[in-house]
């Protein structure tokens, strides 16, 4: 039999009972040694032997001696409040502690009992020897009338002895004057035994309680929503811990600043959401939302975790710790339930059955490399806690970058597009100095990335999509930006490569045989390029023949680069006949024209000239534009849509394209993306659908030791249909060629 020594008070005894119930259910009955003023509480349970010692609640030494004298098993002293020297000697030293180590006295009791690992399990509080006669009499004495009407009952428990709330009279007045016409507001009556109040709790719709025994008793009726006030003097450790049935939790010292928030939460009751998902976010920096259609809201409010950055890092701004917030959600969630962690203000859709996954930010139609949503089942989060560093859940990005890396290492997927956020009314001023909380997160993030070998915020492209083996050993070193086209049943591949050690490039073409690029040759043109740089060839079919477009750039020292787009048709093998330079747009050598996408429709030649702010398609004959078609732009939040390659697909046209964003986490960090859109096969070639998120994200992996390496680039230049899939040719980081196999589902249309 386990023996717990707890001489006072009701709250501490109530905190121990879930452990005793767990002991009993495992076949071991517990004993609690307490003093006479509190022993009546234990009359309400059958699973505990109560031993009453004749001493004062603070005489821990006498209680320990009494336990030994009566032949009880050496008692576990769980009294963490009392004379400091006695608490140290009888509570902490036997378990190897010098003082408290947790965030609240309740958890401290479980810690010295060796059971802190069960706290997140939310063990139930149960009274199996309730006195229904006393409960009924107490109810009738409080409500003599049989018909109470239809008003919901709000119980008030505002009289705390050990931790009195200094604003209890103001709180009571505010509640009664504001809600008195809609609620039946009742101050809890004095009961013969504390647990006789359970009959009231089961009939009530809301309990408003300060830090006192009635607050702890509410855990026995978990379905009762609680507005909880917790002590914070002399330190937050002295206040009661947050519990999952607390719909609003406030430290005594914060109430005058947060009372309006409390009123809005009460306004949302009675009646709660369908708790399919537990949605958790930090409410330290924003007010909680109160109306949810399909999730259980858990805004982590100030002080609820028992610790924050102001207390531990001497930071000027209070924010909670990430792991503490996740633990709260684990406590609130049921087995198998999903937990969504978001930043404040994020709008999301119902994500039942999705996860583990994460989503980057969509803000007013624009993408930003900031993770705003993490979702996974309760059990996944519980197992992953061991991997998550002790980060702060602040407004910065270091915690989310670290958490995203944890998610990826555990097989999570990117579901960007399922959540969004409104554009802020005003932008935050730039930080002149990184505050301690952000320095703390940055250090932990950098350590995690170093320790786990994470060198990219995205996995290598070869890990994002299925790839087709391609041996490029016969091509010039570091050939890149390949385009592909089927010719007489064989797959031809064009490529770009640097020569003479400078920025200029040439174009070549090879045939893929048994997974290897063979017989590579430079493209030859009837009209020589005269030293210009030839770039980014794109192969396409026109009138049953292979054709090619490319960019010619002038790269001269001291002069701004200029480029034009040209196209031509192959005479044979690697030789291109007459070249055409379309006269239109800015394709006259005075600007930077590139990324035209040529294609055929009804034996006519077209090129997508622009995609935003409207899509512009040119009908071309030789060097002349004979028609121009404009249609609404395709909305794509990952930057301006450019270039790519167009192939016939399911009676329509499928275009692969690239885009780019320039900002990373508060710094310049260009990144390319590959996406796709479905277009009408006839003029004006309206876009019918576009990828909901990128098919591929540019990654800085792998790195190549060459001067023209450019990180984060993924550049689609060619595509061809291959059975029930598509082969997409990609340039990687201006240094490599890659062939990807794209299934229809991966288009994300």
pLDDT digits (tens, 9 = 90+) for 315-350: 778 899 999 999 999 999 988 888 999 988 887 776
Confidence of residue 667 (pLDDT cuts 50, 70, 90): low
Which of 261-270, 491-500, 627-636, 738-747 has the weakest average pLDDT? 261-270
Residue 500: pLDDT band with limits 50, 70, 90: confident
Nearest to 642 by CA among 672, 619, 683: 672
pLDDT score recorded for residue 704? 58
Mean pLDDT value of segment 556-577: 88
Lowest mean pLDDT among 91-100, 432-441, 736-745: 432-441
Q: Which residue bears the tokens 């091509």? A: 475
Mean pLDDT, rounded, of the chain: 90
Report whether 115 contacts 324 (CB < 8 A).
no
Strands 575-580 and 524-525: parallel
pLDDT of 112? 96
pLDDT given at position 291: 45
Structure tokens at 56: 């004062």
Instruction: Specify the pLDDT at position 377.
Output: 93
Better-scored residue on pLDDT, 160 or 255: 255
Question: In this predicted structure, what is the pLDDT of residue 703?
Answer: 61
Q: Is residue 596 within 8 Å of 580, Cβ to Cβ? A: no
pLDDT tens column, 2-49: 899 999 899 999 999 999 999 999 999 999 999 999 999 999 999 999
Which range is least confidently modeled, 61-65, 157-161, 430-434, 536-540?
430-434
Confidence at residue 628, expressed as pLDDT on a 0 to 100 scale:
96
pLDDT at 305 over 80: yes
User: What is residue 35's predicted lDDT score, i.e. its pLDDT?
Assistant: 96
pTM assigned to the model: 0.80
pLDDT tier at 199, thresholds 50, 70, 90: very high
Q: Which residues 6+ apart lie within 8 Å of 63 measured at CB?
A: 5, 7, 33, 53, 55, 75, 77
Give me the percent of the chain exceeding a pLDDT of 90.
67
Question: Which of these ranges, 213-222, 284-293, 503-512, has the smallest mean pLDDT?
Answer: 284-293
pLDDT at 431 over 70: no
Give the whole-angstrom CA distance, residue 322 versus residue 406: 13
User: Which whole number is the average pLDDT over 296-311?
Assistant: 86
Structure tokens at 113: 């009992």
- Residue 272 confidence (pLDDT) above 50: no
d(CA 732, CA 720): 19
Question: Do the Cβ atoms of 27 and 110 come closer than 8 Å?
Answer: no
Beta bridge partners of 736: 732
Residues 606-658: tens digit of each pLDDT: 999 999 899 999 999 999 999 999 999 998 989 899 999 999 999 999 999 99
CB of 277 closer than 8 Å to CB of 350: yes
> Where is average pLDDT lowest: 88-92, 102-106, 351-355, 508-512?
351-355
pLDDT at position 270 over 80:
no
Does pLDDT of 288 surpass 60? no
pLDDT grade for 425, boundaries at 50, 70 and 90: low
CB atoms within 10 A of CB 107: 19
Q: State the pLDDT confidence band at 159, using cuts at 50, 70 and 90.
A: very high
Structure-block tokens of residue 743: 């299934």
Summarize the confidence of residues 366-379 as an average pLDDT.
88
Residues in the chain: 749
> What pLDDT does 362 receive?
81
Distance in angstroms (rounded) separating the CA atoms of residues 204 and 154: 6
Which secondary structure element, helix H or strand E, spans residue 537, and what is its range?
A: strand 533-542
Give the range among 266-270, 279-283, 365-369, 518-522 with minimum mean pLDDT: 266-270
The arithmetic mean of pLDDT across residues 254-259, rounded, is 92
Angle among Cα 278, 279, 285 to the nearest 5 degrees reads: 145
Residues 49-58 have pLDDT tens digits of 999 999 999 9
pLDDT at 273: 45
Mean local confidence (pLDDT), 397-426: 85
Q: How confident is the model at residue 290 (pLDDT cuts 50, 70, 90)?
A: very low
Dihedral angle of Cα 373, 375, 378, 384, to the nearest 10 degrees: -80
What pLDDT was estimated at residue 287?
64
Question: How large a percentage of the chain has pLDDT more than 70?
Answer: 94
The full DSSP string for 251-290 is EGGGHHHHHHHHHHHHHT-SS----SEEEEEE-SSSPPP-
pLDDT at position 428 is 67
Residue 217 is predicted with a pLDDT of 97
**Which of 174-188, 270-284, 424-438 is least confident?**
270-284
The residue-averaged pLDDT of 203-230 equals 95
Report whether pLDDT(560) > 50. Answer: yes
pLDDT at 534 (0 to 100): 94
Q: Which of 2-16, 41-55, 495-509, 734-748 has the lowest mean pLDDT?
A: 495-509
Helices (H) and strands (E) in the chain, counts: 16, 39
């Amino acid at each position: 039999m386990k023996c717990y020594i707890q001489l006072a008070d009701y709250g501490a005894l109530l905190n121990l009972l879930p452990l005793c119930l767990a002991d009993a259910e495992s076949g071991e009955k517990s004993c609690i040694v307490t003093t006479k003023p509190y022993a009546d509480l234990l009359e309400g349970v059958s699973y505990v032997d109560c031993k009453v010692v004749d001493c004062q609640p603070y005489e821990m030494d006498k209680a320990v001696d009494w336990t030994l004298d009566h032949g009880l098993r050496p008692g576990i002293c769980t009294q963490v409040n009392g004379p400091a020297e006695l608490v140290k000697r009888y509570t902490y030293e036997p378990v190897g502690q010098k003082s408290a180590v947790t965030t609240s006295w309740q958890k401290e009791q479980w810690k010295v009992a060796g059971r802190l690992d069960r706290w997140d399990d939310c063990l139930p509080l149960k009274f199996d020897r309730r006195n229904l006669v006393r409960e009924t009499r107490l109810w009738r004495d409080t409500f003599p009338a049989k018909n109470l009407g239809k008003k919901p009952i709000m119980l008030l428990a505002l009289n705390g002895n050990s931790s009195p709330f200094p604003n209890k009279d103001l709180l009571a007045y505010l509640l009664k004057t504001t809600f008195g016409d809609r609620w039946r507001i009742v101050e809890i009556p004095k009961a013969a035994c504390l647990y006789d109040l359970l009959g009231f709790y089961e009939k009530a719709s809301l309990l408003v309680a300060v830090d006192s025994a009635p607050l702890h008793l509410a855990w026995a009726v978990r379905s009762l929503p609680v507005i909880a006030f917790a002590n914070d003097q002399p330190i937050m450790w002295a206040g009661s811990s947050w519990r999952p049935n607390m719909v609003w939790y406030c430290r005594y010292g914060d109430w005058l600043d947060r009372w309006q928030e409390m009123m809005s939460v009460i306004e949302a009751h009675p009646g709660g959401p369908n708790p399919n998902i537990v949605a958790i976010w930090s409410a330290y920096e924003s007010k909680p939302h109160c109306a949810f259609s399909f999730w259980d809201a858990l805004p982590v409010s100030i002080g609820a975790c028992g610790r924050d950055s102001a207390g531990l890092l001497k930071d000027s701004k209070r924010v909670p710790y990430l792991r503490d917030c996740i633990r709260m959600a684990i406590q609130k969630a049921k087995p198998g339930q999903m937990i969504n962690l978001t930043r404040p203000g994020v709008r999301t859709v119902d994500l039942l059955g999705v996860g583990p996954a994460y989503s980057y930010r969509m803000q007013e139609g624009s993408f930003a490399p900031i993770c705003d949503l993490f979702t996974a089942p309760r059990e996944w989060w519980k197992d992953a806690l061991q991997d998550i560093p002790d980060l702060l859940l602040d407004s910065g990005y270091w915690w989310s970058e670290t958490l995203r890396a944890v998610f990826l290492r555990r097989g999570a997927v990117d579901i960007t597009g399922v959540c969004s956020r409104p554009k802020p009314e005003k932008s935050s001023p730039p930080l002149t100095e990184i505050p301690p909380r952000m320095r703390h997160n940055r250090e932990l993030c950098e350590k995690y990335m170093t320790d786990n070998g994470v060198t990219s915020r995205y996995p290598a492209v070869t890990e994002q999509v299925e790839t087709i083996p391609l041996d490029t050993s016969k091509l010039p070193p570091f050939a890149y930006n390949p385009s592909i086209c089927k010719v007489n049943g064989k797959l031809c591949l064009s490529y770009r490569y640097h020569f003479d050690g400078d920025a200029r490039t040439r174009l070549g073409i090879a045939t893929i045989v048994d997974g290897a690029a063979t017989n590579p040759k430079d493209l030859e043109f009837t009209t020589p390029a005269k030293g210009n740089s030839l770039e980014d060839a794109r192969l396409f079919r026109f009138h049953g023949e292979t054709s090619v477009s490319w960019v010619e750039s002038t790269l001269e020292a001291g002069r701004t680069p200029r480029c034009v787009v040209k196209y031509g048709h192959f005479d044979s093998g690697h030789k291109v006949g007459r070249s055409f330079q379309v006269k239109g747009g800015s394709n006259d050598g005075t600007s930077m024209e590139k990324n035209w996408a040529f294609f055929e429709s009804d034996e006519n030649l077209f090129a997508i000239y622009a995609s935003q702010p409207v899509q512009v398609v040119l009908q071309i004959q030789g060097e002349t534009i004979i028609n121009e078609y404009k249609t609404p732009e395709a909305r794509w939040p990952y930057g301006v849509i450019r270039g790519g390659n167009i192939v016939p697909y399911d009676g329509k046209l499928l275009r692969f394209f690239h885009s780019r964003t320039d900002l990373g986490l508060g710094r310049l960090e260009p990144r390319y993306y590959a996406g796709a859109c479905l277009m009408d096969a006839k003029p004006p070639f309206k876009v019918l659908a576009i990828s909901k998120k990128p098919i591929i994200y540019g990654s800085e992996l792998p790195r190549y030791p060459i001067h023209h390496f450019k990180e984060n680039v993924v550049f689609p230049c060619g595509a061809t249909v291959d059975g029930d899939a598509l082969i997409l040719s990609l340039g990687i980081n201006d240094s490599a060629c890659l062939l990807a196999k794209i299934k229809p589902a991966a288009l994300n249309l």
